[in-house]
Chains A and B, each alone.
Chain A
Amino acid sequence: MIRTTNRIWALKPLAAYLFASAFCLPAPAGADPLTYLGPDRQAKLVEGAKAEGEVVFYSAMIVNQALRPVSEAFMKKYPFIKVNYWRAESAGIFTKLSAEVRANKVMADVVEGTGVGEAVIQAGFAQPYDTPLIQEIPEKYRDPNHIWTPTRRSFFGIGYNTKATATADLPKTYADLLDPRWKGRMAWHAGSASGADLFVTNLRMKWGEDAARAYLQKLAEQNVISLSGASARGLVDRVIAGELGLALNIFAHHPLISASKGAPVSSVLLDPVASTVGTMIVPKGARHPNAAMLLIDYILSREGQEILAEAGYFPSRTDVPTRADLAPITEALTRVSEQFVSPEALNKYTASSEEMIGALMAKKP
Chain B
Amino acid sequence: MSEELIEPVKQLIIDALRIEGMTSSDIETDAPLFGEGLGLDSIDALQLVVAMEKEYGVVVPDAATGAKVFQSVRSMAAHIAEHGK
A binds B: no
A contacts, CB < 8 Å to B? none
